[in-house]
Amino acid sequence: MQQSTTQNLWLNSLLLVLCLASCGRMQVAQMTQVECKSEYYWKLFDSTHTTHQYKTEVTLYGKFFSGILVLKQINDTTCRSAFTTVMGAKLFELIVSPQKDSVIYTIPQMSNNTVVAAIAKDIRTFALLNKFTTLPLCRKEDKVDGEIVERRTKQEIYRYFYKRNNLILNQIQVLSEGFKTKTLFDLTYASNAVLPKDVYITHLNFKLKIHLTSL
C-alpha cells in the first residue's frame, strides 16, 4: 500500500514536471518585428565562395554511410550539387533553385522522386537559405541572442537564427504549420570563418541525421 502511494506520488510529480515543462514551452515568446537587413541572409554562400566540399556522414535508421557533397553556387538563386562516395562513385547530381529542381544524374537506387526531393529541399534550405520562395519577415525574440529571419510557405515555416554579435547563421529550423519542428540545422564555425565548418542536420519525422564537415 505504502509502495503504491509512493509510486503514485512519483508519477504525479513526474506528470506535474512534464506539464510545467510543456506549459513553459507553450508560452508565446515575446517577439518583435524588426527591419530585415540583407547582410543576414546573403552571407552564407555567395559568388565569392563558389564551390564548397563537405565530407558527409549520413545515419538513416541506424545505417551509416559517408561521402563527399559538392555545392556550387551558380548564382544567388541556383545551386548545383553532387554527391560522391569516398571511392569516387557519383550517386547524384542536381540543380536546385527556388521554383524548380533538375536532376542531372542519380543512381537507379535513388531515382525515387521522394528521395531526390528530400535531398533537394535540404540543399535549398541550407545553401540557398530558401531565398526568394517567399518574402522574409525579421524578428527579435526575448530568449534569442540575435535575430530571426522567417519565411513561410503554404505548409512550412523556415526560421534562420543569426547571432547578434557577428551576424552569423547558427541554426535553421523547419517547422510545420502547427509549429512542430520537422528539421533542424545546427551550424558551427572555426574562428573568424564566414562559412560553417560543421553542419548537423536532424530530421525529426524520420530517423535521419546528416553531418557535413567542410573540407
Partner 1 sequence: MKFILLSVVLFLGIIIHVAAQEAGFKPLKDVDVFSNKFDVASKKLTSIHSDFVQEKHLSMMEADIKSNGKFKYKKENKVRLEYTAPFQYLMVLNNGKMYIKDGSKINKFDTNANKTFREINDMMVATLKGDVLHSRKYNVTYFENESSYLLEMKPTEKAIQEMMQKIKIYIDKKTLHVHTILMMEASGDYTKMIFKNSIQNAAINDTEFVVK
What is the binding site for partner 1 (CB under 8 A)? Answer: 50-51, 53, 55, 57, 63-66, 68, 70, 72, 80, 82, 84, 86-90, 93, 104-105, 107-109, 213, 215
C-alpha 13 chain-centroid distance: 35
Grid cell listed for 142? 526575448
If the CB atoms of residues 29 and 115 are measured against partner 1, the closer one turns out to be 115
- Give the closest residue to 37 by CA, choosing from 124, 157, 136: 136
Q: What span, in angstroms and rounded, lies between the C-alpha atoms of 184 and 180?
A: 11
Q: CB-wise, 65 or 179, nearer to partner 1?
A: 65
Closest approach, Cβ 64 to partner 1, in A, equals 5
* For partner 1, the closer CB: 24 or 88: 88
CB atoms within 10 A of CB 176: 12
**CA 144 to CA 123: how far, in whole Å?**
25
Q: Nearer Cβ to partner 1, position 90 or 139?
A: 90
Strand 101-106 versus strand 63-75 pairing type: unpaired
Least distance from C-beta 57 to partner 1, angstroms? 7
Q: What is the rounded distance in angstroms from the CA atom of residue 31 to the CA atom of residue 157?
A: 16
**Smaller CB separation from partner 1, 123 or 157:** 123
Q: How far apart are CB 101 and partner 1 at their closest, in Å?
A: 15
Quote the least distance from Cβ 7 to partner 1, whole Å.
40
Amino acid at the residue 177: E
Residue among 139 and 211 whose Cβ is closer to partner 1? 211
The DSSP line for 176-206 is ETT--EEEEEEEE--TT-SS-SEEEEEETTT
* Contact predicate 72/50, CB 8 Å: yes
> Closest separation between CB of residue 65 and partner 1, Å?
7
To partner 1, the closest distance from the beta carbon of 9 in angstroms equals 43
